[in-house]
Amino acid sequence: MKIYAFPSASLSNIWAGVGAGKWAVSKSDHDAVNKRRKTLAGEMPVGSFGILYLSGQGLTVPFVVTSEPNYVDAESKVWPEDWYLSFDIKPLGNPSKIMSRADALAKLPSIARNGLKTVDDLIFTKGVQTFVPSEIADDDWSALIKELAI
């Protein structure tokens, strides 16, 4: 199955997004990156599964995508700064639960099964990979839901 991971350097930004039922991305200083994100965002179907990633800490808040991205307007009401390509989400948890990178290594079945060394080998968590889906097994999604859903 496909899963979209979205990183955030700020736990407060994750709480704000979960509370608003929205997610979005920061604007890059590079036009080519923004163009690529816009193209990739258009390939993320409504009903897709996603997960938020607190940078350097771990995975948190699995969700379901419930709208197409907004290509026109910046989102200026949820976060202190403008974010772009906003889309609605149905959070399946909240940021009070975080699966650390070490726990993910131990608890995500595909990591051991495939001899992977890091979470990033399974789930694309870097900002440059925004809107790029990762392919995970159903038992990985089950483990994420078991650990992070409320």
What are the residue boundaries of the structural domains of the chain, listed by start?
2-148
Decide: helix, strand or coil at residue 87: strand
pLDDT of residue 107: 97
Q: Which amino acid is at 75?
A: E
Fold of 2-148: ph1033 like fold (3.10.590)
Determine how β-strand 134-135 pairs with β-strand 22-25. Answer: unpaired
Determine how β-strand 99-100 pairs with β-strand 58-65. Answer: antiparallel
The tens digit of pLDDT for each residue in 74-105 reads 999 999 999 999 999 999 999 999 999 999 99
Judged against a pLDDT cut of 90, whether residue 138 lies above it is answered with: yes
Q: What is the mean pLDDT of residues 118-134?
A: 93
User: Could you tell me if 66 and 88 are in contact, meaning their C-beta atoms sit under 8 angstroms apart?
Assistant: yes
Distance from C-alpha of 64 to C-alpha of 46, rounded to nearest angstrom:
8
Beta bridge partners of residue 5, listed in sequence order: 51
pTM: 0.95
Q: What is the mean pLDDT of residues 119-125?
A: 95
The tens digit of pLDDT for each residue in 23-53 reads 999 998 999 999 999 999 999 999 999 999 9
- 132 falls in which pLDDT band (50, 70, 90)? very high
- The burial of 112, by beta-carbon neighbours within 10 Å (0-12 exposed, 13-18 middle, 19 or more buried), is given as exposed
- The burial of 8, by beta-carbon neighbours within 10 Å (0-12 exposed, 13-18 middle, 19 or more buried), is given as buried
pLDDT of residue 150: 83
**Residue whose pair of structure tokens reads 């959070």 in the numeric block:** 91
Mean pLDDT computed over every residue of the chain = 96
